[in-house]
Structure 1
Amino acid sequence: MTLTRRSFLKASAAGFGAAVLSLGLSGCVFDSDDDDSVDVSFDHGVASGDPLSDALIIWTRVTPQQPVSSLKVQWQAATDPEFINISHDGEAQVSADSDFTLKVDLQGLNANTQYYYRFKAYGKTSPTGKGKTLPTGNVEQVKFAVLSCANYPAGYFHVYGEVAKQPDLDAVLHLGDYLYEYGNDGYATADAAALGRLLPQDNSTEMLSLEDYRKRYAHYRTDTDLQAAHSHCPFIVVWDDHEITNDTWRDGAQNHNEDEGDFTQRKLYALQAYFEWMPIRNVADKERIYRRFDFANLVSLYMLDTRVLARDEQLSFADFDLASAPGQAQFASAISSSSRALLGSEQLTWLQDGIMTSDCQWQVLAQQVLMTKMHMPVEVLQLLGSLQVALASGEDTSALLTQANALFAELAQIKTRILAEDPTVSANERARVETKVPYNLDAWDGYAYEREMLLASAVAAQKDLVVLAGDTHNGWAGQLRTDATNPIAANQAAGVEFATASVSSPGLESYLSLNTQDPQAVAQIEQVITLLIDDLTYNNLVDRGYLTVTFTAEQAQAQWHYINTVKDSNYQVLSTRSKQLSVNAGSRQLIS
């Protein structure tokens, strides 16, 4: 059966899981529950999320050790870790209908206050978590940690453990790919057996059913580093594609085939499990995940959806002859078409109105895919395409890699001469460097019209715009500019973008077969990439890690944090690879 939009909305509204409001003290005596008639455990830790100035979501899952229809769960919240000053308590029932998960929306809280919370069921008490409400009025600083792309079989979640050590965080922003749909024989699983990171036997194939998605979340949430991060600080989350399946768009996905059933039904299962397992406030239509959080007068944070609600199907390079001028013109017209949606008119209008009317200094867009124009010389893109095909088919890539290194060096030399205004640069050489196309049509580069409308709105509003991104598994920083042809604000600096590396998923180093043990070679290719992409300021192509961004009235400062491996239980922080960049209020220009 194919779901209609109406039936999807009806099913979506019905499948939220157990969520209750807590307005204060209910008279529930937390320590009096000594009923041990059911053997339970808190195997998946606790979490908080979606903080407001007067509210906070808290979450847990109770695991029954025997078949039961329902369980009762109690909760407490207090302003001290000893739970002397209790502000909220209560009791609720959970069942298999919600996969025995529970979300409590604590309301009537004090602004800018640290709360501690815990749960109890049948004589067992959960770990204690902590979460801070949003500030109001004036505030000196807001600090986020930014995460994305955590693949359990690909390696250890050390990055989550590092985030749990970060002091003074106001929130953790998870930009999606919280988990991956593939089975034990899928993407980035080559080392899983050796690392002890294989998926369990009853969840070892690609996720398709509601049970599949639930079990995958359950397995990921047994990771102690992930549990530590969740208990440390509120998460504010959005999905990317792998929470459903690779390269999801509005009505389908690259990694969904007809023999896997109805895509809309699969999406419904994925979204239901997401809302059950993530500390996110429930909404009437689970597709509309976009929302806003104001941190006093300093930051308006917009959590955006670029995947599920409105995205049109990605364009394909195979449909265009990029070696010819007519093909390049056809391609340029397609990617800039006003008919192609990423956010969609509803979400875009909501965002533009928010930016225009916000009283906060910084307008921060937390979303999935790169917004910076990542335009590369056509020659480079064609060679990388050949390399990717060869890697996918298991062919020997040594000749292609030698060719790629030579091409990078040659084009970098030409670009350096152009920047030095060398009069001997020929027209053909200039064309080789300046004839460019975007390298990733899944990103904003494949939906250029909406990007131009959004950036023009930020320029017109005279607001300080910072975009946060994930998805690519690598660290990036870019300058956001409108096109010279933008009818509203032509060729204007509109803001900056900071993109985080992945928690564990492999990055471009795997596609380029970079020797990660040769720092000089890595640095050279990173410098060449930055040189050839005009709007790119920084990149890290090889390391796993996360990003922190600290906002004050004067400046937004980004810092990339990296670790040396996800392939060993022992690891080190790569302080030599850490990077800081900032943007001053009112400048819209990146500075080192």
Structure 2
Amino acid sequence: MRFLLTLVLSLALLASAQAQNIFHPDIIKLARATESLFPFGVASGDPEPNSVVLWSKVFPAVLTDTVKVQWVIATDTTLKNVVGGGELVAESTSAFTVQVNQQGLQPSTTYFYCFFTDTDSSAIGRTKTASVNNENLSFAVASCANYQMGYFNAYGHIAKRNDIDAVIFLGDYIYEYGTRTTALRPHIPNTEILSLEDYRSRYAQNRLDSNLLEAHRLHPFITIWDDHEFANNSYSDGAQNHQSDEDDWEKRKAIGRKAFFEWIPIRRQPNTTKLYRSLRYGNMAELFMIDGRVEGRNTPLADFTDSLRFDTARTMLGATQRKWLLDGMAKSDAHWRVLVNDVMFAPMDLGKIAGDRRYNMDAWDGYEGDRGRILDIVEQDTVRNLVVITGDIHTSWGIDIVRNPMDRKKYNRKTGKGVVGSEFVTPSISSPNLDEMRGKLAAKLAVPYLKGLRSNRHLHFLNTMDHGYTLLKLTEEEAKCTWVFMRTVKKPSLKTKPFRSLAFPHNGGGLERRNP
């Protein structure tokens, strides 16, 4: 009898130890408190006309077990008109992720889906396939969701929308930092994340947020990473926030990739860890999702006066990804070419007060060679249809894309001469804005200062103080961006502030004001 009790206790301790190798103990407690096998909800992503990726994650009573999971997808909310489904096995090696590329669907159609086991079922998710015709499109665009710095109110606002085709997320889905003294909500774990258990737990904490749960449940996501899915200001061979005593960078990078692919519904290519890919929405738009961080980015320069800034051998994308992007953009016959991008693409002068950081070397300003090659493609084309959507900098910008804003012979702000595209920078979900980092006075003064610089004549709009997301609408006539600003991130609230809208006329001039 004593042997049997010892064996049972040993197995229980082993299961507990292995469970903690998957998630932090505090995450286990929170997940168990939901009394659901599917505490992290459901999600969908990367919609195509006839398929979409469906996702969930099981949380079994014993985390060392494999779990058989079934799914069903239907055209009605009661899941009676079933059009697909099946069974798969969730395993501990993927932290019990279940992900399936559901085929055999109809274009531009709303579907409802669910995962279930013998004892429990997930919430019912809603998703939508891509169009094949020249239909108008609408996307919510978001980035930079720092859990500890504020509430995910913007996700809640997105969840309630019934007028979007998908959510495009531009990176910084999680942050690697430990809990700060200014935190509104403590991180789990409260230290900087380094191990696979750490990264999984940080994603899990975000996904237990009710607003993010609903956004994922109700809309397909098209997602790229930026730096904080790994470490701040990351590049191929390292990161600003990775030190030599934090183990090997290649190991940390692999952990970051693995955790991302476990948690994000994404159409993966077999036997590769590549992020970059494209999606087509009929004739209206082709989206090019890039990896501007760990695929091939060279070490950022420390000073904008460094002559290596203009060295065409330096790269942000890496040779293979760059060729894929340039070939794809050159061949695309879509009405709009959309670059789904992490860091600011347009040249931007931050002024003398920025010192040796007058131009941001972590952005495309630090990689003139790759940016120049993209501009070569779009300048050669007779159709002006490039839209760049950007996150990263926790502020909102509307910018004409021109090679040299100072060249008055080639660029005219009023007529739009020389403009080849537009860049719309989305605000952060909750990551600190300029006012939260430098104070309200500095944030207010920065707007007229930056817009007043002659080198920034292409800058039409700048907001340094508000959180939220953008709404990108693509039609035959124009690409319209509306900045949706939340009233606060300091407490739960879905109230908004007045919006702002700009539009880039198809094959026309520069940005123009529009009513939101």
TM-score with structure 1 length normalisation?
A: 0.76
- Structure 1 gaps of 5+ residues are 1-38, 321-327, 386-436, 516-520
Q: Which moved more, 1:164-173 or 1:45-54?
A: 164-173
- Residue 138 of structure 1 deviates from its aligned partner by 2.8
| Corresponding residue number in structure 2 for 1:290 | 276
> What CA distance in whole angstroms lies between the structure 2 residues aligned with 1:155 and 1:512?
17
- In the alignment of these two chains, the number of paired residues is 469
| Corresponding residue number in structure 1 for 2:20 | none
- Residue 523 of structure 1 deviates from its aligned partner by 5.2
Residue type of the alignment partner of 1:104? V
| Corresponding residue number in structure 1 for 2:158 | 163
| Corresponding residue number in structure 1 for 2:187 | 199
Identical-pair percentage: 38
Change (3 A) 1:164 1:570: closer
Aligned equivalent of 1:363, options 310, 328, 337? 337
- Residue 348 of structure 1 deviates from its aligned partner by 2.0
Aligned equivalent of 2:308, options 323, 329, 334? 334
| Corresponding residue number in structure 2 for 1:455 | 375
Q: Which protein shows a greater Rg?
A: 1
Change (3 A) 1:582 1:114: same
Aligned equivalent of 1:569, options 479, 492, 510? 492
SS in 2 for 1:509: helix
Asked whether the equivalents of residues 56 and 106 of structure 1 are also in contact (C-alpha less than 8 Å), the reply is yes
Aligned equivalent of 1:243, options 226, 229, 236? 229
2:140 is equivalent to residue 145 of structure 1: yes
| Corresponding residue number in structure 2 for 1:354 | 328
| Corresponding residue number in structure 2 for 1:472 | 393
Cα RMSD (Å) of the superposition? 2.0
- Residue 72 of structure 1 deviates from its aligned partner by 1.1
Asked whether the equivalents of residues 496 and 588 of structure 1 are also in contact (C-alpha less than 8 Å), the reply is no
Asked whether the equivalents of residues 40 and 65 of structure 1 are also in contact (C-alpha less than 8 Å), the reply is no
Aligned equivalent of 2:300, options 301, 314, 330? 314
- Residue 571 of structure 1 deviates from its aligned partner by 5.4
1:78-117 mapped onto 2 (5 Å cutoff): 78-117=74-113
Residue deviations 1:319-364, cap 9 Å, x none?
Answer: x7xxxxxxx4xx3x32111121011222222222222221211000
Aligned equivalent of 2:477, options 530, 554, 558? 554
- Residue 66 of structure 1 deviates from its aligned partner by 3.1
| Corresponding residue number in structure 1 for 2:423 | 497
| Corresponding residue number in structure 2 for 1:122 | 118
SS in 2 for 1:466: strand
> What CA distance in whole angstroms lies between the structure 1 residues aligned with 2:446 and 2:393?
17
> What CA distance in whole angstroms lies between the structure 2 residues aligned with 1:156 and 1:122?
35
Change (3 A) 1:362 1:199: same
SS in 2 for 1:309: coil
2:500 is equivalent to residue 579 of structure 1: yes
Asked whether the equivalents of residues 501 and 546 of structure 1 are also in contact (C-alpha less than 8 Å), the reply is yes
Change (3 A) 1:375 1:285: farther
| Corresponding residue number in structure 2 for 1:190 | 181
| Corresponding residue number in structure 1 for 2:195 | 209
Residue type of the alignment partner of 1:470? G
Aligned equivalent of 1:253, options 219, 230, 239? 239
> What CA distance in whole angstroms lies between the structure 2 residues aligned with 1:46 and 1:281?
16
Residue type of the alignment partner of 2:181? A
Asked whether the equivalents of residues 372 and 536 of structure 1 are also in contact (C-alpha less than 8 Å), the reply is no
Residue deviations 1:438-469, cap 9 Å, x none?
Answer: 43110001111211110121111233100000
| Corresponding residue number in structure 2 for 1:46 | 42
Aligned equivalent of 2:289, options 290, 293, 303? 303
Residue deviations 1:196-220, cap 9 Å, x none?
Answer: x2123xx221111111111111111
Change (3 A) 1:213 1:237: same
| Corresponding residue number in structure 2 for 1:388 | none
| Corresponding residue number in structure 2 for 1:400 | none
Residue deviations 1:119-145, cap 9 Å, x none?
Answer: 112321111111111111332x01111
Asked whether the equivalents of residues 467 and 496 of structure 1 are also in contact (C-alpha less than 8 Å), the reply is yes
> What CA distance in whole angstroms lies between the structure 1 residues aligned with 2:105 and 2:205?
32
- Residue 151 of structure 1 deviates from its aligned partner by 0.5
Asked whether the equivalents of residues 301 and 364 of structure 1 are also in contact (C-alpha less than 8 Å), the reply is yes
2:53 is equivalent to residue 57 of structure 1: yes
2:128 is equivalent to residue 132 of structure 1: yes
Residue deviations 1:90-119, cap 9 Å, x none?
Answer: 111112111011101101111111111011
Asked whether the equivalents of residues 372 and 478 of structure 1 are also in contact (C-alpha less than 8 Å), the reply is yes
Change (3 A) 1:438 1:496: farther
> What CA distance in whole angstroms lies between the structure 2 residues aligned with 1:167 and 1:527?
36
> What CA distance in whole angstroms lies between the structure 2 residues aligned with 1:370 and 1:484?
15
Residue type of the alignment partner of 1:370? M
> What CA distance in whole angstroms lies between the structure 2 residues aligned with 1:485 and 1:574?
34
Residue deviations 1:370-409, cap 9 Å, x none?
Answer: 01111133x3212xx7xxxxxxxxxxxxxxxxxxxxxxxx
Change (3 A) 1:510 1:286: farther
> What CA distance in whole angstroms lies between the structure 2 residues aligned with 1:314 and 1:83?
51
SS in 1 for 2:346: coil
- Residue 494 of structure 1 deviates from its aligned partner by 1.8
| Corresponding residue number in structure 2 for 1:430 | none
2:514 is equivalent to residue 526 of structure 1: no
Change (3 A) 1:214 1:524: closer
> What CA distance in whole angstroms lies between the structure 2 residues aligned with 1:350 and 1:542?
37
> What CA distance in whole angstroms lies between the structure 1 residues aligned with 2:379 and 2:425?
21
Residue type of the alignment partner of 1:306? G
> What CA distance in whole angstroms lies between the structure 2 residues aligned with 1:337 and 1:573?
45
Aligned equivalent of 1:71, options 67, 71, 94? 67
Residue deviations 1:481-529, cap 9 Å, x none?
Answer: 124999xx999322110010000000222343225xxxxx865542332
Aligned equivalent of 1:180, options 163, 175, 194? 175
> What CA distance in whole angstroms lies between the structure 2 residues aligned with 1:439 and 1:348?
23
> What CA distance in whole angstroms lies between the structure 1 residues aligned with 2:430 and 2:475?
30
Residue deviations 1:33-74, cap 9 Å, x none?
Answer: xxxxxx852110100001111110010011123344211111
SS in 1 for 2:100: strand
Change (3 A) 1:484 1:59: closer
SS in 2 for 1:136: coil
SS in 1 for 2:502: strand
Residue type of the alignment partner of 2:244? E
> What CA distance in whole angstroms lies between the structure 2 residues aligned with 1:256 and 1:374?
27
TM-score with structure 2 length normalisation?
A: 0.87
SS in 1 for 2:47: coil
> What CA distance in whole angstroms lies between the structure 1 residues aligned with 2:60 and 2:226?
31
Asked whether the equivalents of residues 406 and 457 of structure 2 are also in contact (C-alpha less than 8 Å), the reply is no
| Corresponding residue number in structure 1 for 2:215 | 229
Residue type of the alignment partner of 1:144? F
> What CA distance in whole angstroms lies between the structure 2 residues aligned with 1:438 and 1:586?
32
